[in-house]
Amino acid sequence: MPSLNPHPGAQEVTPEGRAPEAAALSTAAPDLAPAAVQALVARLYGIDGSVKSLAGERDQNCAVETADGTRYVFKISNPSEPESLVDFQIAALEHVARTSPSQPVPRVVWTLDGRTRDTVALADGARTTVRMLTYLEGIQIRETPRTAAQRVAMGRGLAELNLALQGFTHPAATHDLLWNVSAAHRLTVQLGSLVEGPRRALAQSFMTRFTDHVLPHLASLRAQVIHNDYHLYNVLVAPHDQARITGIIDFGDMLHAPLVGEVATAAAFHMTGNADPFAGAAQFVGAYQAVLPLTDLEQDIVADLMATRHLVTALISGGAPCAIPKTAPTSCVTTPRPGRRCRRWQTSPATKRDRLLTPTRNGTSS
């Protein structure tokens, strides 16, 4: 997962402000030379190919290309990454491959001796896991112009992925993750990191809305394993048909959580690009509901959870505007002062809900 696109990493902040799961961020990613990666791939997979580095925040990722043009992604995990989380990601991909083989997700490549991953020793003696996935062709949506057809494709694509993940369980699925929007209350202590004034007041109002009107309902809602990071960096489309999804990547933030949090997290990234911040998000949510409808209660809180997702981004970044990448969605709480876009979030909950869900209720999604 590229650093700071669109978030700086997965860790949990305790009430004392510590980050007990920050090891993967403070531990340097492996840095094997291309020749060493090439030798590992040949030994473990019997594949001879050239090696090219890919972006990665916590892990070392490499593209491996054989003489006939076949490409793979070879992943060398951060030594601090628990093996259980690697196994969780592998198991999820294999589940999707079995239950919904048309899903555009990477396939796990097995080693020569029939394993889904292996363990290797690094130069400093640390041991870590390695695995290989198929390479998905396409370009990141962030590199393309936004269109209604593309938002509809993304909404339908996420719903279909969620359907494919229904029924999947794993012991590591309930791991703690700071980027779980349904647990945003754990970040309350971070409100003090925001600049005092209208910005902090707006953030506080978002948190209060979440804790008073959203959090009490979450335990009664549908929950399952969700991707939790379905945004413009992690969805690929065909270069010449940019409304056709060819790949969904980066399952590193996956966890078991309320399904509505998945929808809200993804929809929050569609609030830019239109004068009305709800227009693109409404297209996305409408398309999602055409495949996998939200319940009445989920519809009542999805807009609030979208605001919460922007709040989470600001609080994890410490409230510093320079910590928010230019490619991240413009958030109400990451701007110096609440402007017109932010004030729109201060309308009544019913108004926000209706503006977000109007395409669905009118029977359209574009």
User: Which CATH code for domain 140-361?
Assistant: 3.90.1200.10
- Give the C-alpha separation, 236 to 135, whole Å: 11
- Give the C-alpha separation, 173 to 191, whole Å: 28
pLDDT in tens, 1-48: 332 234 333 323 333 333 334 455 567 889 999 999 999 999 999 999
pLDDT value of position 56: 80
pLDDT value of position 346: 61
The predicted model gives 319-347 an average pLDDT of: 43
In this structure, are residues 35 and 25 in contact, taking their beta carbons and an 8 Å threshold? no
Tell me the average pLDDT of the chain.
Answer: 85
Q: Which H or E run includes 56?
A: none
The predicted model gives 90-119 an average pLDDT of: 98
DSSP category for residue 161: H
User: Residue 327 pLDDT more than 70?
Assistant: no
Confidence band for 232, pLDDT divided at 50, 70 and 90: very high
In this structure, are residues 298 and 259 in contact, taking their beta carbons and an 8 Å threshold? yes
- Give the C-alpha separation, 99 to 164, whole Å: 6
pLDDT value of position 7: 37
The predicted model gives 317-346 an average pLDDT of: 44
Q: 359 or 71: which carries more pLDDT confidence?
A: 71
Least confident window among 28-37, 121-130, 349-358: 349-358
The predicted model gives 82-93 an average pLDDT of: 97
Question: Which DSSP string corresponds to 298-342?
Answer: HHHHHHHHHHHHHHHHHHHTTT-GGGS-TTSPPPGGGSSS--HHH
Three-state DSSP state, 245: strand
Q: Which of 108, 135, 151, 134 is nearest to 245 (CA)?
A: 151
pLDDT in tens, 21-34: 445 556 788 999 99
Q: In the chain, what are the domain boundaries? A: 23-137, 140-361
Structure tokens at 258: 């309320």
286-302 CB burial, b ≥16 within 10 A, e <16: bbbbbebebeeebbbbb
Alpha helices in the chain (DSSP H): 23-26, 34-45, 83-99, 148-165, 198-209, 215-218, 259-268, 277-291, 296-316, 340-344, 349-361
- Give the C-alpha separation, 250 to 233, whole Å: 9
The predicted model gives 223-243 an average pLDDT of: 97
Question: Which DSSP string corresponds to 249-310?
Answer: ---TT-EEEEHHHHHHHHHHTTSSSSSSHHHHHHHHHHHHHHHSPPPHHHHHHHHHHHHHHH
Q: 267 or 16: which carries more pLDDT confidence?
A: 267
Three-state DSSP state, 12: coil
Confidence band for 342, pLDDT divided at 50, 70 and 90: low
Residue 88, amino acid: F
Q: Which of 142, 222, 252, 229 is nearest to 181 (CA)?
A: 229
User: Residue 343 pLDDT more than 80?
Assistant: no
For domain 23-137, give the fold: Phosphorylase Kinase; domain 1 (3.30.200)
Domain 23-137 matches domain 140-361 at the CATH topology level: no
Residues in the chain: 366
Question: Cα-flanking dihedrals φ and ψ of residue 119, to 5°?
Answer: -120, 135
**84 C-beta neighbours (distance < 10 Å), count:** 12
pLDDT value of position 169: 97
pLDDT in tens, 136-168: 999 999 999 999 999 999 999 999 999 999 999
